[in-house]
Structure 1
């Protein structure tokens, strides 16, 4: 069994994609029933479960009505929960996604001999995730087996505890601190490295060797370097996947609405009678309600089509922008690799030059010792000392 890599990144997922509420182009729907759902809870329900008690206690202490909190989710994000990420003005996310792969399509893809083993490794990793990370409440977790490679989508809400104000909050930095990963800028990186080691040990126990992530030919990243330099690309890949899924979802909904037609037969069957009041006509109440209902549906359908077109266009534009950003980060990483290679090259040149200098000085030192020994053997030591003295005096006078 060849060595495999582990890929972990903070995804920007879509719950509707994760839970297969629609089928994207990269999904084999015949294998969708094989997906493993570990937990599936509504986001809004999870927020009520986690924060309602703390909100109630907080509100009970408030004397001013305008300081009280209603729905905690809407208090943070100014809108109800949805099927995708929401980020508020403080860059706080309504939930986070941990995306995990073992190997590649070539060595661990569905249909390869190792696919079943990697699936079991991912299952074991997921089953211990919540216990290892008590401050990351997992409300949605699924292993996808209907795409090219088995992988995990773990969606969680970070929970932090505070002495002042609201006692329990959505707070990732505090959650990491409470789980003993520190409270500096590298806390999240330390957590990810710990999770990387956990999965590596699980893979080793199942006979899978995990390689150090490659930086360039003949050189390996440390795990920490890999996290720092590859995280941007992994996040952008996850963002592209999310946008592609949202675009496919919008297109599917648009096509569904486009196929809906107003029931012309029902409208044509309505009998209109001339009224005694000029050119006006009279209808039965049943026919009027039918016509009114049909007109309302038509207007609503037109509005939905316009909205979906707008959302589709926005998703396509955003996807294009993310691809450009992905290419820019890839270029940046390539430049970094070249810089590191150049740095090592110039370092070798400097070391070689220093080695030559030392060798030359050693040779001169040996030659000087031989010359002194020769002068002494010839009985010229005193004459040589006078020569050196006169030479130095001459230099001083000049």
Structure 2
């Protein structure tokens, strides 16, 4: 069973335009190498039929629902976003229609939880490594603009419990994450190793599909040989049956005489009787052989057709899976390349430093990490949940 992925982010007015351009794919080029422009037309928005102006819609929602007349602070959070997804294995198991129903179900839950009137957009991205949805909304609660009040710990715990259960009731094989999980974010090297493993697994998957296709082709070739052999055996049985059977004119030429004082008996020569008896026995034997070979021939034809259908299905699935694998492998290669470059860059910097400087560097790194954790806890700017 796959886990639910749900990420909440909080943003100020200055971030809104960039998020709009990313979600609606309004840029010409992207720094994110995972975006495949050829697949971008597959993206869709479950709220809007066409691209919208995020800033204008946010302003309209705030003016219609905020009670206070005071000016909004410049550093206020005016826009929030929830990213919904799962792992690639989850989406591989379901159809495109089911995938859309999955995102619709998640959106329906968020509408009830947040308020449909505060939802701005629900962009589903299918042009990246894993399908996911960006649900944008204005954080209004009790006629007040406040992301802090809306997205608190209670809110997050409820979403953790309720959203996976809601989707599971709709028939999706998904569950929430482990409570109080100690799982930490992977560093660059660990992530690169994981990507390498996934890359190798994908290559194995492609080889498995290729092997299965080759097995089916060999089976069909074997059946072709057996079918030809049985066809020859069938023809031989037909010829033997024709040779061993008396012709109609030969049967008609057999002379016979009535037996005196008997109306149901006749006399024929011993030679004719033996010929007739031999022909009948041979015909019976050959008829059984003919019937057996005919049945075997029909079974072989059906078996051959079955494996042909299997091969056609395999080829069709193989083409679809191969395209998906190529796309994922391409993304993994790019990510590996990028991470490798980052690791080399860090290693070069470390090599250029003295031992004392390296020690100071790692000390400072630990201190910065601690400070960042504290700042995140205090400001509570964004939350990320692995449900």
TM-score bucket (shorter structure): 0.3 to 0.5
Instruction: Tell which has more relative contact order, 1 or 2 (C-alpha 8 A, sep 6+).
Output: 2
Normalising by structure 1, we get a TM-score of 0.38
Write 1 or 2 for the structure with the bigger share of helix: 2
Q: Of the two, which has the highest radius of gyration?
A: 2
Normalising by structure 2, we get a TM-score of 0.39
